[in-house]
Every structure is written in structure tokens, then in C-alpha cells.
Amino acid sequence: MNVRRQDRGRLLYRPPLAAKRSIRATKWIWVSVFGIVGRFFVTAIIDRWGRRMSGVLCCLMSPAAISIAGQMPGIYIGDASLFYIMILITVLFGSGNYAIVAPYMAEVWPTRLRTSGMGLGYGVGNMGKIIGPLGLALIAGSSDYISPKATLDALGPAFLYFGSWWILGAIAFWLIGFETKGRSFEEMDSALTETAARLGRAPAA
């Protein structure tokens, strides 16, 4: 859900950023390019690091970059905007996270629950399209909770808000997720079944 929320939030901020020329309209092309590159990059590191650690990396790098972007929108390194650089890094890892989540959503469910489990995951993920604008509206003080007007005054708090959901994703990968690299569906089914059996035999507290 956190990935869809960040995408929706960034889309809401495109008009005011373009108007202020923090990011010119033509530069959004490179933002999209970095999103594509991010998916290839993360796909490459998955085989080396595994799903879980790659997910933690993406969910930590993205909030770090977007938080810096929100707090330092007017800083330049030579002629390069630090804000723009941080947005590119955010999109690189944020969009790349899709390359982890898409297969991982199928791998973490046992065979008998895989179809309904993936459906549940997509359904919960789409809630981000509602929660993202709602949170932004509350931060910006807008009365329009469906499509709030993103203001530059609320840029810092809004980007911290979006980043906090990535942190939640990192915690989920670290504490709840399990590694699926190099394991067949049969092996994962067996492990999940054994875990469920142990929990079923555990005495009630």
C-alpha cells in the first residue's frame, strides 16, 4: 500500500513544483526514466541480496531521499538542484520496489491461498490511493479530501508523511517477511504449513 500512496502523492505535487520551476516540466521525463531504471536495478540486486534485504534497502533509501528533498527544496550543488537529485533517488528505489513486491506477493502465500491472498494484497494496496490524498489534505489544511491542492508550504511535512509509509514497509520486510530466494513453491508451502501447525499447537496465553 505504501508504494501506491507515494506515487499518488508525487502526482499531486507535480503542478505546483512545475509552476515554481523547482522541477521543470521537461525534467519529469527523467523522473520517469529513473523509475524504469530502478526496476531493472532492483531486479538485478534481488538475485544477490534476496527479496527481503532488497525490500528493506528500497524502503529505507526512498524515505531518506524524499525527506531530504522536502526539507531542502532550495539547495543547489553547483547548478544541480539537490531537491531534483533527491527526487530521482526516491523514484529509483521507490519504483524499483515494485520489482520486489510483484513476485513477493505471490511467494508469501501458500498454494491454497495464493489467488485470494494476492487479491487481498492488491485491494489493500489500492487503499493507498485514498489514504495518500487524505493525509496530504490534512497536512495542507485542505477541505478537499479526494483531490487536495498540494501547496509548497506543506512540502516538507507532506514528504515526511510519504516517507513514513516507506519506513513501515521496511519494518514489515524486516520483522514479518521471510526470504524466498532460491526456494521453490513446494518448499515454501511446506515451511508455511509447518509454521501454521506449530502455531496451532501452541498453548493459549
Q: Tens digit of pLDDT for each residue in 155-204? A: 788 888 888 889 998 998 999 888 888 777 777 777 777 776 776 654 44
Return d(Cα 181, Cα 47) in angstroms, integer: 7
Q: Does residue 149 lie in a domain region?
A: yes
- Single-letter amino acid, residue 127: M
Return d(Cα 148, Cα 138) in angstroms, integer: 9
Q: Does residue 108 lie in a domain region?
A: yes
Q: Which long-range contacts (CB under 8 A, 24 or more apart) does 30-38 make?
A: 30/88, 31/87, 31/88, 31/91, 34/88, 34/91, 34/92, 34/95, 35/91, 35/92, 35/94, 35/95, 36/95, 37/92, 38/91, 38/92, 38/93, 38/94, 38/95, 38/96, 38/99
Residue 109's CATH number: 1.20.1250.20
Q: Does residue 92 lie in a domain region?
A: yes
Question: How many CB atoms are closer than 10 A to CB 92?
Answer: 24
Q: Does residue 34 lie in a domain region?
A: yes
- Global pTM? 0.75
Q: Does residue 194 lie in a domain region?
A: no
Q: Does residue 187 lie in a domain region?
A: no
Asked whether 151 and 17 are in contact (CB, 8 A), the reply is no
The mean per-residue pLDDT over the stretch 107-123 comes to 81
Q: Does residue 81 lie in a domain region?
A: yes
The count of domains in the chain is 1
The mean per-residue pLDDT over the stretch 86-112 comes to 86
Looking at the DSSP bridge assignments, the partners of residue 81 are: 76
